[in-house]
Amino acid sequence: MADKPRRPRAETPKGFRDYFGAEVTERKAMLDRIAGVYHRYGFDPLETSAVETVEALGKFLPDVDRPNEGVFAWEEEGDWLALRYDLTAPLARVAAQYRNDLPSPYRRYAMGPVWRNEKPGPGRFRQFYQCDADTVGSASVAADAEICAMLADALEEVGIPRGDYVVKVNNRKVLNGVMEVAGLAGDDKEAERGIVLRAIDKIDRLGPEGVRALLGEGRKDESGDFTRGAGLGTEQAEVVMGFTSAKRDAGAATVARLRELVGGSVIGAEGVSELEAIAALLDAQGYGPDRIMLDPGVVRGLGYYTGPVYEAELTFQITDEKGRPRNFGSVAGGGRYDGLVKRFTGQDVPATGVSIGVDRLLAALRAKGRVGGETAGPVVVTVMDRDRMADYMAMVGELRQAGIRAEVYLGNPKNFGNQLKYADKRQSPVAVIQGGDEAAKGTVILKDLILGAKIAESATLEEWKDRPAQVEVPRADLVAAVRKMLGQ
């Protein structure tokens, strides 16, 4: 006897997840609000393909050492193609491809899923949403300052109040100056510089001692995994550690400390001056250090940043899986990447931009109680008599025409209790009922399912009499009566 064909397992691939009803609705509402802010700042929407050539994407992911690692790639007719790992690399390709047609500077925002072929972990998925805004073609630090201001506005627009976030700004040139002072300049030191960058980027998670270990011989984590260090001597490491702790209460004091650290480095001094200019531009628009501040601890892991870098951090506390309080952390980051378009054109094309981690920001809004309330389902028109489906469809049509979310029960109508159970599962606020008797009288019964549930739980008899959970109304008054029951 032939083997039965094996049934496929109904399970999501590792590192991926499915999003249902309320999650999708909440995400769309949040993205619409962010898009409103970007639009107000004069940015245009752009949608690019999910697939790019590996050559166009480039190799810029952090912590990745071999070609095509970190991306989902495949070969096709001699070309390697891959799913995009962010929205910035595709923008660089677009800016180069359409450079004769696009305005310069070109200001665009984009929203959509990106894919990273990396080890999944708790809260770390291989497909996630990003929401970006970039200015391509402006070398002015005013473009960087504007992105930071827009990021602060976007966070407040979606419901993160002032005081619960801070946008931190740094400059890669300052860090390059510090590297120079620490003896890490030159092409032969590129690997060490990469390790140093990634180490500084982890200071919030690992603390000064963890970073110091990564600057030296390396670090063993709690699981016993060893991460190779940059191999710096004690004096070199101290220069870098001085940079990580250069932040002062006032921006001017931070700038002064950074000037000391970069010493005679020309690139370092240039970076400090740019930070000073950004702080002045933001100050002129009323963005004080309570919203946007200079912070040398911000590095950003991606390899293509060349100047100012910034990160939005949420400062309120949440409880982790082990019940310990901790700050929510970063939800957005970006910076200047003047070399990315040059890969295509051979000419310098300055660019700067920011990327918001959509899932993390949504999680933050849930933690703040800004989203995640019960989402009202549709009004359900029940079916008492399957021969009168046209009448029920007419009812649902009228409700929809009036802008009320509604549906007819399309399962087996035999058991009426199952229809109400369905309405309950759909979190339906109202059920519409019309049997033969009501049809003959020209009426419908409206059952207030939310109130009914509350009455079943706690309401007193007086409350129930005052507002009954079920009313019979003339068929002609269906829309008005449903509106009243919905509180519209």
Q: Are residues 323 and 351 in the same domain?
A: yes
**Do the Cβ atoms of 51 and 83 come closer than 8 Å?**
yes
Contacts with 7 (C-beta within 8 Å, 6 or more apart), sequence order: none
**176 falls within a domain:** yes
**Per-residue pLDDT averaged across 66-82, rounded?**
80
Which of 145-149, 244-248, 292-296, 453-457 shows the lowest per-residue confidence on average (mean pLDDT)?
Answer: 453-457
**372 falls within a domain:** no
Question: Tell me, what CATH number does 251's domain have?
Answer: 3.30.930.10
Q: Of 164, 144, 150, whose CA–CA distance to 356 is shortest?
A: 150
In the listed set 336, 367, 398, which residue is the last one of a domain according to the structure?
367
Using the predicted structure, report yes or no on whether residue 214 has a pLDDT greater than 70: yes
**1 falls within a domain:** no
Average pLDDT, the chain: 86
**104 falls within a domain:** yes
Token digits of residue 161? 């109040």
Give the HSE-up count for residue 70: Cα atoms under 13 Å, Cβ half-sphere: 16
- Predicted confidence at residue 326, as pLDDT, reads 73
pLDDT band at 59 (very low <50, low <70, confident <90, very high): low
Euclidean distance between CA atoms 229 and 192, whole angstroms: 8
pLDDT band at 464 (very low <50, low <70, confident <90, very high): very low
- Predicted confidence at residue 476, as pLDDT, reads 96
Terminal-residue alpha carbon distance, the chain: 65
**Do the Cβ atoms of 228 and 195 come closer than 8 Å?**
yes
Using the predicted structure, report yes or no on whether residue 194 has a pLDDT greater than 90: no
In the listed set 367, 393, 410, which residue is the last one of a domain according to the structure?
367
**5 falls within a domain:** no
Count of domains for the chain:
2
Sequence-ordered strand ranges (E) for 155-307? 165-171, 218-220, 226-228, 292-294
Which of 44-58, 106-120, 194-208, 248-262 shows the lowest per-residue confidence on average (mean pLDDT)?
Answer: 194-208
Contacts with 100 (C-beta within 8 Å, 6 or more apart), sequence order: none
- Predicted confidence at residue 389, as pLDDT, reads 95
Q: Are residues 48 and 166 in the same domain?
A: yes
Alpha helix stretches (DSSP H) within 14-106: 21-40, 54-57, 88-97
Contacts with 99 (C-beta within 8 Å, 6 or more apart), sequence order: 345, 349
Residues 305-328 have pLDDT tens digits of 889 999 999 988 776 667 777 778
Question: Would you give the distance in Å from CA 448 to the centre of its chain?
Answer: 37
Token digits of residue 308? 């100012």
Q: Are residues 390 and 480 in the same domain?
A: yes
Q: What angle do CA 312, 315, 318 make, to 5 degrees?
A: 120
**Residue written as tokens 């601890």?**
297
**344 falls within a domain:** yes
In the listed set 341, 367, 393, which residue is the last one of a domain according to the structure?
367
Using the predicted structure, report yes or no on whether residue 38 has a pLDDT greater than 60: yes
Q: Are residues 293 and 350 in the same domain?
A: yes
- Predicted confidence at residue 373, as pLDDT, reads 58
- Predicted confidence at residue 301, as pLDDT, reads 57
Question: Tell me, what CATH number does 446's domain have?
Answer: 3.40.50.800
Q: Are residues 327 and 402 in the same domain?
A: no
**135 falls within a domain:** yes
Q: What is the pTM for the complete model shown?
A: 0.80
Q: Are residues 178 and 231 in the same domain?
A: yes
Q: Which residue has the higher pLDDT, 126 or 252?
A: 126
Q: Of 253, 245, 326, whose CA–CA distance to 289 is shortest?
A: 253
Question: Would you give the distance in Å from CA 64 to the centre of its chain?
Answer: 23
Q: Are residues 26 and 53 in the same domain?
A: yes
Q: Are residues 350 and 424 in the same domain?
A: no
Q: Which domain holds residue 393?
A: 379-486
Using the predicted structure, report yes or no on whether residue 21 has a pLDDT greater than 90: no
Which of 186-195, 236-245, 255-264, 383-392 shows the lowest per-residue confidence on average (mean pLDDT)?
Answer: 186-195
Which of 88-97, 368-377, 383-392 shows the lowest per-residue confidence on average (mean pLDDT)?
Answer: 368-377
Euclidean distance between CA atoms 232 and 239, whole angstroms: 10
**Per-residue pLDDT averaged across 398-405, rounded?**
96
Share of the chain above pLDDT 70, in %: 91
pLDDT band at 158 (very low <50, low <70, confident <90, very high): very high
Euclidean distance between CA atoms 111 and 31, whole angstroms: 8
Three-state DSSP at 168 gives strand
Strand pairing category for 127-136 and 351-357: antiparallel
Q: Which residue has the higher pLDDT, 218 or 64?
A: 218
Q: Are residues 347 and 394 in the same domain?
A: no
**12 falls within a domain:** no
- Predicted confidence at residue 488, as pLDDT, reads 78
Q: Are residues 309 and 448 in the same domain?
A: no
Q: Are residues 149 and 65 in the same domain?
A: yes
**Do the Cβ atoms of 431 and 421 come closer than 8 Å?**
no
**Per-residue pLDDT averaged across 11-15, rounded?**
91
Token digits of residue 55? 């050559």
Per residue, what are the HEC states of 89-152?
A: HHHHHHHHHCCCCCCCCEEEEEEEEEECECCCECCECCEEEEEEEEEECCCCHHHHHHHHHHHH
**Per-residue pLDDT averaged across 389-418, rounded?**
94
Residues 81-111 have pLDDT tens digits of 999 999 998 999 999 999 999 999 999 999 9
Residues 261-276 have pLDDT tens digits of 787 888 888 999 999 9
Q: Are residues 360 and 388 in the same domain?
A: no
